[in-house]
Amino acid sequence: MPSMAQGGLRNSADSHHKLRAKFPVDDRKVDPAFSRKQKIAEHRKSLPIASVEKRLGDEVRNNDILIIVGETGSGKTTQLPQFLFNAGFCRDGKTIGITQPRRVAAVTVAKRVAEECGVELGQRVGYSIRFEDVTSGSTRIKYMTDGLLLREALLDPYLSRYSVIIVDEAHERTVHTDVLLGLLKNVQKASLDARGFSEYFGGARAVHIQGRQFPVDIFYTHHAEPDYVDATLITILQIHLEERPGDILVFLTGQEEIESVERLVKERLQQLPEGSRKLLAAPIFSALPSEKQMRVFAPAPAGFRKVILATNIAETSVTIPGIRYVIDPGFVKARSYDPVKGMESLIIVPTSKAQALQRSGRAGREGPGKCFRLYPESEFEKLDDSTKPEIKRCNLANVILQLKALGVDDILGFDFMEKPSRASIVKSLEQLFLLGALTDECKLSDPVGHQMAQLPLDPIYSRALILASQFNCLEEMLITVAMLSVESIFYAPREKLEEARTAMKCFSCPEGDHLTLVNVYRASNEFLEKRTVGLSKEKNEKILRKWCKENFINSRSLRHARDVHSQIRGNVEQMGLRLASCGDDMLQFCRCLAASFFLNAALKQPEGTYRALASGQVVQIHPSSVLFRAKPECIVFNELVQTNHKYIRNITKIDYLWLAELAPQYYCMQN
């Protein structure tokens, strides 16, 4: 009960004693519900934001746009909507909408606020995320993902059911947030969070709220480290041997790096005296199956210290308790986009100052902490202030399609907070035109463009669904597109690579990866139908997880694909597209893939590499493809990723002649 603890240390034990003696029957001890309620009320009162409740209500009432800079732990996300509700912002039946970049945040915060309000989740307080709507007619405080609000805007461009929109975590500058802000600027009715937005909104008022964060001491190295993996290892062991108890969080760039540091930590520990070996390494990254991710949350055994090896998943998405030390080598793997080649790639770059700050803050959640930056302070000064917003680093085809559907025709003139390059916009317009989504006048085409905008998919996949209804293979394409839309379906841990390969062979199809994915999906369906008649949903999930594990499939990805499948199946049915299967006619399906993915066709070169026809780039088949060894003459692919090489992934063999036949607008016959 923090409000009581503030009286000072000397007398607190005494007064506590007296209180109990005076009131031998303490309500809090008798009624746990009362105690919980009391605790929540006291917690709310203790939050830094509580002292400015009235002011916030007034500011929001008096300003169309308000920037609220709430530091970590200020309570803004949970309290502000309640303040506004109490201040009467929902009186005319309107709703307060709060957007979050991530689903898990929308869900957990909504649950917390419902509890604080003492209402059932889904009634006055609710949340809405893709595949999950826990709201009702009486919902007045609605948490949601920013992407979902954008989808809502397609149906109601003025967002007329909301009295206030709070865009939380706007400083993260996700593509969705940026598009939403541009849209809200048109609607001119918003309350924003984060600094530096004031100028964009024409000098909007800003309110600062103090946070609650413990101090973190920052340490730099004297010199630049030539090998940051080695420097990381040395620092881990140094902390382990010399510092007080507390877990260590290390930020690395990817799976490979994490696995090698994990191995090296174990090796070096063996060289230490036995009493000093009580250090446990726990990896976490997105592609790790969730049961393995959970290990980082388990407390270390008594006497042990945990060292968590993480990607930037631990920067914002996941909060791990018990962290007292952070090691930050100063690098991150980031997406980048080359509009000339139309290629996205992953490259390792230095973090920004803001990112370094965010990382060090992870050491000060529960008490004072320490952060070791593995570079000199002079290097920190040279870092960019903040990370380049994603909208300047990605393919814009989807953003443009959405904006067009929202009635924004002049994309080059749209008032983005930070405008993507002209080249990048033009390249994506060109792609949309080639896919048939835009007319010669650059307007959304009817019906294709409108249908594509309605589907929650990459434009190229939306186009594939529309074409598939004409090729009589929509059932197969729905599965394909769902499987292509999720993270990697196959999971092959290094130590069981051979087993995983054998498992994958059961599904593999000589035509290529697309039909292989269809086989996996259908096998999971058959398994479920055979094994789970009459079982509960939880039992179903559990039995499917087991099947996935046996087959080296990432169950989280497969479940996600099944959700996407049922959603887009609903979408195409609503559009009236013809749902049919091509049965055993693989040729028909492969021709449809060629017609859909003609922009991503590639031809084999004498030395076994491929030349992508649209961009002229030399690429290689990714080793995870079923066609890695077969190397057919002509292929279509879905993903081009630059890591050590330019790799293409998700590939199907096609006949070269189909291109001119099925995409004559692009490939005219030259011979």
Report if residue 221 touches DNA, rule: CB under 7 A.
Answer: no
Burial class (CB in 10 A: 0-12, 13-18, 19+), 440: exposed
Report if residue 557 touches DNA, rule: CB under 7 A.
Answer: no
Burial class (CB in 10 A: 0-12, 13-18, 19+), 282: buried
x/- map, 517-546, DNA, by CB under 7 A:
------------------------------
The CB-of-624 to DNA minimum distance in angstroms stands at: 4
Q: Which is nearer to DNA, 57 or 330 (CB)?
A: 330
Answer for the pair 326, 239: CB distance below 8 angstroms, yes or no: no
Report if residue 233 touches DNA, rule: CB under 7 A.
Answer: no
Q: In the beta sheet, which residues pair with residue 348?
A: 333
Q: Which is nearer to DNA, 355 or 652 (CB)?
A: 355
How many angstroms separate the CA atoms of 390 and 101, rounded?
A: 13
156-175 binders of DNA (CB under 7 A): 174
Q: Which of residues 312, 358, 451, 638 is near DNA by CB under 7 A?
A: 312
Q: Which of residues 46, 63, 609, 624 is near DNA by CB under 7 A?
A: 624
Q: Which of residues 37, 44, 111, 130 is near DNA by CB under 7 A?
A: 130
Q: Which of residues 186, 567, 609, 617 is near DNA by CB under 7 A?
A: 567
The CB-of-590 to DNA minimum distance in angstroms stands at: 23
Q: Which is nearer to DNA, 401 or 417 (CB)?
A: 401
Report if residue 46 touches DNA, rule: CB under 7 A.
Answer: no
- Element (DSSP H or E) covering residue 263: helix 255-270
Q: Residue length, the chain?
A: 671
173-192 binders of DNA (CB under 7 A): 174, 176
**Where does this chain touch DNA (CB under 7 A) — which range of 151-159, 425-433, 509-517, 654-662?**
151-159
Q: Which is nearer to DNA, 78 or 312 (CB)?
A: 312
**Using DSSP, how many helices (H) and how many strands (E) does the chain show?**
25, 21
Report if residue 338 touches DNA, rule: CB under 7 A.
Answer: no
Q: Which is nearer to DNA, 47 or 166 (CB)?
A: 166
**Where does this chain touch DNA (CB under 7 A) — which range of 41-49, 114-122, 150-158, 379-387?**
150-158
Q: Please give the full DSSP string across 66-107, using - where no structure is assigned.
A: EEEEE-TTS-HHHHHHHHHHHTTTTTTS-EEEEEESSHHHHH
Strands of the sheet containing 95-100, edge to edge, are 132-134, 125-129, 141-145, 95-100, 162-167, 190-193, 65-70, 205-209
Q: Which of residues 410, 623, 668, 669 is near DNA by CB under 7 A?
A: 623
Report if residue 335 touches DNA, rule: CB under 7 A.
Answer: yes
Q: Which is nearer to DNA, 209 or 328 (CB)?
A: 328
Amino acid present at 42: E
Phi, psi of 516 (to 5 degrees): -60, -45
Report if residue 359 touches DNA, rule: CB under 7 A.
Answer: no
Sign of CA dihedral 77, 250, 213, 320: positive
Report if residue 283 touches DNA, rule: CB under 7 A.
Answer: no
Report if residue 598 touches DNA, rule: CB under 7 A.
Answer: no
The CB-of-224 to DNA minimum distance in angstroms stands at: 23
How many angstroms separate the CA atoms of 286 and 284, rounded?
A: 7
DSSP state of 455: S
Q: Which of residues 390, 541, 585, 655 is near DNA by CB under 7 A?
A: 390
How many angstroms separate the CA atoms of 568 and 545, rounded?
A: 23
65-70 and 190-193 beta bridge pairing: parallel
DSSP state of 295: G
CA-nearest of 459, 471, 450 to 579 is 471
Q: Please give the full DSSP string across 326-382, using - where no structure is assigned.
A: EEE-SEEEEEEEETTTTEEEEEEEEPPHHHHHHHHHTTSSSS-EEEEESS-HHHHHH
**3-state DSSP percent of the chain in helix, strand and coil, to 5:** 45, 20, 35
The CB-of-512 to DNA minimum distance in angstroms stands at: 15
Sign of CA dihedral 197, 202, 203, 205: negative
87-106 binders of DNA (CB under 7 A): 101-104
Report if residue 644 touches DNA, rule: CB under 7 A.
Answer: yes
417-476 binders of DNA (CB under 7 A): 456-458
Report if residue 309 touches DNA, rule: CB under 7 A.
Answer: no
Q: Which is nearer to DNA, 72 or 643 (CB)?
A: 643
Task: Report the interface residues with DNA, using CB under 7 A.
Answer: 101-104, 128-130, 133, 145, 147-148, 150-152, 155, 174, 176, 253-256, 285-287, 311-313, 317-318, 332-335, 346, 390, 398, 456-458, 485, 487-488, 492, 494, 497, 501, 567, 570-571, 622-624, 628, 641, 643-645, 647
